[in-house]
Structure 1
Amino acid sequence: MRAERRYIDDADVEAAIEEVDDSELVPLLEEFVHLPRGRRRTLHLRSLLIGLYLCTQDTGGKIVLERVTDILYFRISPRLREVLDITEYADSDQGFEAAYAVVRRLFHAMKDAMNPSPLPPNGHLSRSEAHALTAAADIDDLAERERRLALFTEFVLDASVRPLHSLLTELAEVSLGVDATPVRTFSRGRRTSGPELATDPDAGWYVREGDHRDPDTVSDSMRPPSPPTKKGKPKASQDKKKTSLKKKYLFGYDAHLIVTRDAEHDAVLLDDGTPNPEVLPALVLGVALDKPGHRPAYNGLKVLNRLRERGYKPGYLAGDRAYNNSEPDEWQLPVRAMGFKPVYDYRADQLGKQAGTHGAILVEGRWYCPSMPEPLINATIDLHAERIDRETWVRLIAARRGYRIMPKENADTDGYQRMMCPAEAGKAQCPNKPRTLGSGIHLPLIDPEPSPAGPLKVCRQRTITVSPEAGAKQWQALDYGGPEWQRVYFRLRNSVEGYNGYAKNPLAEGIESAGSRRIRGIAAQTILLAFPLAHANRRKIKKWLDTLSLGGERPRRRTHHRRPKKEPRSWTPTGHLAPAA
């Protein structure tokens, strides 16, 4: 016998109505979703958004338009359908198809108003057709649609963190981790150099290695250099056939996620085994989709700009190497101008001395005295080459502090900063600054190399002015490899990677799978991804609240098992130090 319809509880529907109304998404969409005039509409944008929200609650974070139709027309009580002005359809195959057509048309109208791509999906465009459509597109119109899509995702995600929004905006700094994680699209990829595009023309191949771009689209000059071979290990013969895994991993998009995390505190449990309520959970605040490996800096900045406009105070910012390998004008300088303090890791070919200004040298992101000993400059290079062991590397990194160029004052509004050598700052002794000699054996004695041209500018003057462009590509706010760098960098990077895994859980949102995002095109994929991410935020907040011990009561749920954490000083670029016996 056919099962009787089971309505969604009115309280849940009313909560969804309140959530959508508070998000202010409806007025936003009504500004640019212009529907054709004609017969009275049987479904409004407000009702569609409520259906999308209820669908994520019903499916564990997934959006399926058939399920949305079933919820709106057949699982909401007649009283609330009347409140939402939803037309009644017969509970039959014909009635369902008619209702589904209404939902589908309205969703596509909303999606088309935010579609920043000139290429239509669902067909195999030839490359000449794609080039012609792209050339004929109105750039300003596409930019406006991209802005609308960014606003839409912002409103959806903001609504999901509303319970903690006041706490986030009250923080002195909001530190962020940025990362691009691959998500599949519901389309079979075509050969990059082939004559036709895939049915999702905005997607691309994700590559497991390097910068994640399809190797067919990257010239040899743009590829990162191969890692150096270790000493004593001969290179494999070029004639020997390689049997490595395929490079192409999936066809889809890079989802650039911005995840917030408390960079100053670990999520250490209290004495009663419950989480600290002052340490908020990691939450995603922004997302942008693009082809894998394409424009990481552009997509990251697009979201960061919106976060700043939403009132979040900039703090530390950590991303993978795809971001800090961008051109300084595209990533490093803009994020510093926003007030963020970048924290980076480096490729093997970027270690050691990286730049110089007024005689000062940039070593792994920080400015140092030009007379810093070579073993300290090349400590990380020597570690990778196995010329020193891990314990020695830790000692050498700590010894760099005595040679660091120190700030005399904060940077001005244009990013220029007055700085002074370590001897001038009272951190070292130097013959070029005779008044600093005899300050005590606890301070390092700098041994400058004589030069016919005389001392360098940083050695002659009391201070120098460092421009933001000097060493901009590699500069960072913390000493590379030091304890504070390890705490901040790994907290942020681990949080964003952990969130990726949390939202990709196939038993929950499963964002990597394309099964619940079967509408093609970058606009549809972004919309269908924003709602699952918002659901993941709500799920995370609820789980966090359930594990707190409030008012002296025991928590509703125990926190997940936490592995013992390694001490920050035990990390090195080639592995952790061996535990003390």
Structure 2
Amino acid sequence: MSTAKPRAWPPRTTRARTTRPRPPTKQTAQIPDAVTSHYTCLLDDSGIMPLIDDELGPRSGPAGMPIRAVLVCLMVSIHHSGKATLADAWRLAAFCLSAASREHLGLDADGPPADDPHACLADNRCFYRAFDRLTTLLDVARHDRRTRLPQHQADLLAAAWQDDDPGHIRKRDLLQDIVTALVLTPVRWSKGRGHLAGFRGDVGIDTTATPVFARPPRTRRSTGELIASTEITAGWHHSAGAGQAEYGYSATLTVAARTRSVLGSFPQLALGLVLDTPHKRIGANAITTLKPLSTLGFPTAFAVVDRAYTDQQPAHFAQPARELGYRLALDYKVDQRGVQGSAHGALLIDGSLACPLMPDRLATATTGLDDAAIRRPSEELTALITAREPYLLRLKQNANADGAIRFQCPAAGTSPSLTCPRFDRLHQRGPLRPAAVDLTDARQRAAHLAAKPRVLPPQPDLKAGELPKICRQHTITLGKDDLGHLDKFRQDLAYLSPTWIGTYKSVRANTEGINGRLKGHDLDLGNPKNRLAHGRVAQTILVALLVTVANDHFLDQWRHTQQPPDGADTSADVLEITAEQADRMPPPNRSRPPPIP
């Protein structure tokens, strides 16, 4: 038996005791009145409460807790903790607001006694019931969200979110109007103070996964019956490049972005939000986010999207986006690159109309290339893309009221980009008179016809009546339906050209940056534990509140970095604000206190 003595523990010193980790305290810090007032002003200025009150109408019985107070407390909870849970929002409302803030929100000034569990439970139930009134009011297919229904019953309820019933359409539109009004309120404030003076109208559109805490459908072992999820309209969101799908919803976000050629700075804000079933109505949801921007007076420039939107039917995305005034910058899948079709004899090559006699080596430069070769183009590919430019049809006239666009043959006009014997023969254009050229002037050398590419028609060439329309005329008119389903591939920049790269990659970086900030440390849209309430309406409202508070944070952070500490807001591009709106808006300087740690 060993007689060795056990080693003694080190002595408990004062320093060791002070460095021990301490469990977090249950008591929450007091919320400053300035923060509560700020988000109360934001909610009131959004104008959603009159919409809710009109839909709610007169109700018998006790009034209950105001819905306005619940929404404000949810935003305050998101601001301080990043969580949009009713439990955290009620705790802040009950124990962390001052008497003046509670009274201003229509709550009891004293609040429930902390030492009375029955009073706290009653107040908590009132808080939950107020949010339940809102979700019941806007729900298209109300059902018990605590029970997992058989899949065939859940499918009948889920169909109400996409059918043509007038009552269902009205409720869906009302819910979307509330979401849009919330998200755009910080944007209107930013524009009214001149912060978006540098915004030129370039937007990025993307869908991001919004997982839910509910479990996906499963088969019951005892009966073999398929049981639906409590989120009956949720689905599996598959992200490009992600190995594992996420069960929940897809949030379509439109982001204020900038290209490389844009100077100045402005806050990168979310300009629109739509929550929907994954991979459903992708193009229509994008158009829904773009339509309200015209009411704010924003310019329209490029709409940059990924390949999910390129696959949409032209009537679902490309054509409505162009009707709103946006030009498109697109990317393609591997099997979509190269020659995509033709119209009036002109080839559609990587989204651009080109001369039908473009050399095959140039027309097929991107055919079959994988994504790695496109993201990092080689010198040979860059040279081929540059050599395509003289063969591309030039825009002669923008779209008219019917959506028709005129394009000009590259060999026509006073400054042709190439020479074409077929064009000279058909249009009886003789050789130009020789002119003196200063060989030391690079511009004169490049403008001479001898320096331009020469088209080589087949020998013997086709007869005049057999030639395509683009060769018989100086210009062609491209109608809205001339390309058919291939119109979804047409874009307004030459694919992989320096201008396309400066537009597409910059805007996509802004879009992914916003997605990353929304799923960051402070605010995490991708964590379903931050949105525990069940139901399509509840998830839509909570996601809208998260994006609204995120917009407010983005704006505040931009002002801290772009404006001097005591600098006033710029007066450029200021909206006309009524006296009533001015009273509700927060002060223009940086007077709002930072969040409490």
Residue 448 of structure 1 corresponds to which residue in structure 2?
457
- Provide the rounded CA distance (Å) in 2 between the counterparts of 1:403 and 1:392: 18
SS of structure 2 residue aligned to 1:356: strand
Q: Identify the residue that residue 338 of structure 1 maps to in structure 2.
A: 324
Deviation readout 1:33-87 (Å, 9 max, x if unpaired): 3463212x2422332222122222221x321212222222332222332333312
SS in structure 2 opposite 1:317?
strand
CA distance in 2 between counterparts of 1:82 and 1:406 reads: 65
Query: How many pairs does the alignment contain?
Result: 503
Distance 1:552 1:32, change over 3 A: closer
Contact 1:119-1:134 within 8 A present in 2 as well? no
Q: Residues 142-541 of structure 1 correspond to what in structure 2 (within 5 A)? A: 142-166=168-192, 167=194, 173-191=200-218, 195-208=226-239, 248-265=244-261, 278-381=264-367, 383-384=369-370, 390-425=378-413, 426-434=416-424, 435=429, 440-449=449-458, 450-452=461-463, 453-469=465-481, 470=483, 471-505=486-520, 507-541=521-555
Deviation sequence 1:428-456 (CA, Å, 0-9, x none): 11112222755521221112232255432
Query: What amino acid is the match of 1:257?
Result: L
RMSD between aligned alpha carbons?
2.8
Task: Identify the match of residue 86 of structure 1 among 96, 107, 122.
Answer: 107
- The answer to whether structure 1 residue 140 and structure 2 residue 162 are counterparts is no
Q: Conserved in 2, the CA contact under 8 Å of 1:206 and 1:248?
A: no
Q: Which residue of 2 aligns with 1:112?
A: 136
Q: Which amino acid aligns with 2:281?
A: R
- Between structure 1 and structure 2, the one with the greater Rg is 2
Q: CA contact under 8 A between 1:35 and 1:109: conserved in structure 2?
A: no
The one-letter amino acid of 1:496's match is: T
Query: What's the secondary structure of 1:408's corresponding residue?
Result: strand
User: After alignment, is 480-489 or 446-455 more displaced?
Assistant: 446-455
**What secondary structure does 2:544 align onto?**
helix
Query: Contact 2:196–2:266 at 8 Å: present in 1 too?
Result: no
Once residues 497 and 389 of structure 1 are traced to their aligned partners in structure 2, the CA distance between those partners, rounded to angstroms, is 22
AA aligned to 2:270 is V
Of the three residues 66, 75, 97, the one matched with 1:44 is 66
Are the equivalent residues in 2 in contact too, given 1:354–1:364 (CA < 8 A)? yes
Cα distance in structure 1, aligned partners of 2:207 and 2:51 = 27
- Structure 1 residue 318: deviation in Å? 1.1
On the 8 A contact 1:317/1:340 being kept in 2, the answer is yes
SS at match of 1:300: helix
Verify the 8 A CA contact 2:394 2:410 in the aligned structure 1: yes
Deviation of the 1:138 alpha carbon: 7.5
Decide whether aligned partners of structure 1 residues 259 and 208 sit closer, same or farther in structure 2, where only a CA change above 3 A counts: closer
- Conserved 8 A contact 2:197-2:266: no
Closer/same/farther in 2, CA of residues 181 and 498 from structure 1, 3 Å limit = same
Using the TM superposition, give the Cα deviation of residue 465 of structure 1 relative to its aligned residue in structure 2, in angstroms: 0.7
- Counterpart CA distance in 2 for 1:62 and 1:406 is 52
Determine the structure 1 residue equivalent to 2:32.
9
**Deviation of residue 552 (structure 1)?**
11
Aligned to 1:57: 79
- Say if 2:339 and 2:348, in contact at 8 Å, map to a contact too: yes
Tell me which residue corresponds to 1:572.
none
Over residues 137-164 of structure 1, what are the superposed CA-to-partner deviations in whole Å (9 max), with x where a residue is unaligned? Answer: 8822221111112111112112233442
**Alpha-carbon deviation of 1:28?**
2.5
For the 8 Å contact 1:178–1:317, the answer to whether it is kept is yes
The aligned amino acid for 1:431 is P
1:118–1:73: structure 2 CA closer, same or farther, 3 Å change rule?
closer
* C-alpha distance in structure 2 between counterparts of 1:552 and 1:14, whole Å: 22
CA contact (8 A) 1:423 1:430 kept: yes
CA distance in 1, matches of 2:491, 2:206: 18
Larger mean Cα displacement after TM superposition, 99-108 or 539-548:
539-548
Unmatched 5+ stretches in structure 2? 1-24, 433-447, 568-597
- Counterpart check, 1:29 vs 2:56: no
Distance 2:268 2:430 in 1: 47
547, 550, 562: which is aligned to 1:548? 562
- Distance in 2 separating the partners of 1:389 and 1:62: 43
Task: Give the Cα–Cα distance (whole angstroms) in 1 for the partners of residues 473 and 452 of structure 2.
Answer: 20
Answer yes or no: is the 8 Å Cα contact 1:169–1:312 preserved in 2. no
Partner Cα distance (2:43, 2:159) in 1: 38
Aligned equivalents of 1:168 and 1:117: distance in 2? 41
- 1:66 match: 87
Aligned to 2:8: none
Distance in 2 of aligned mates of 1:282 and 1:160: 12
Q: Distance in 2 between matches of 1:172 and 1:544?
A: 14
Q: Spell out, residue by residue over 1:201-228, the C-alpha distance to the aligned partner (whole angstroms, 9 max, x if none).
A: 1111223559x9xxxxxxxxxxxxxxxx
Q: SS at 2:361's partner residue?
A: helix
What do residues 300-333 of structure 1 show as CA deviations (whole Å, max 9, x unaligned)? 1222223334433322111111111011111111
1:358 Cα shift? 1.2
Of 92-101 and 167-176, more deviation after overlay is shown by: 167-176
Paired with 2:279 and 2:322, the residues of 1 have a C-alpha distance of 23
Change (3 A) 1:535 1:206: same
1:135 deviation in Å?
6.4
Q: Secondary structure at the match of 1:14?
A: helix
Question: In 2, distance between residues paired with 1:423 and 1:106?
Answer: 69
Contact preservation (8 Å) 1:205, 1:248: no
Deviations 1:98-126 (A, max 9, x none): 11111111112112222345665332111
285-294 vs 165-174, greater mean Cα deviation: 165-174
Distance 1:497 1:428 in 2: 40
CA gap of 1:194–1:390, structure 2 versus 1, over 3 A, is farther
Give unpaired runs (5+ residues) of structure 1: 213-246, 267-275, 554-581
Q: Judge conservation of contact 1:89–1:99 (CA < 8 Å) in 2.
A: yes
TM-score of the two chains, using structure 2 as the length reference: 0.78
Quick one: distance in 2 between partners of 1:394 and 1:194?
Answer: 57
Structure 1's 131 and 333: CA in aligned 2 closer, same or farther, altered over 3 A? same
Distance 1:119 1:431, change over 3 A: farther
Classify the secondary structure of the residue corresponding to 1:113. Answer: helix
Question: Match for residue 273 of structure 1?
Answer: none
Q: How far is 1:534 from its partner?
A: 1.7
Q: Distance in 1 between matches of 2:299 and 2:144?
A: 39
Structure 1 counterpart of 2:204, one-letter code: G
8 Å contact 2:141–2:157 — kept in the other structure? no
Answer whether contact 2:337 2:368 (CA < 8 A) is retained. Answer: no
Question: What is the identity, as a one-letter code, of the residue corresponding to 1:547?
Answer: T
- SS of structure 2 residue aligned to 1:328: coil
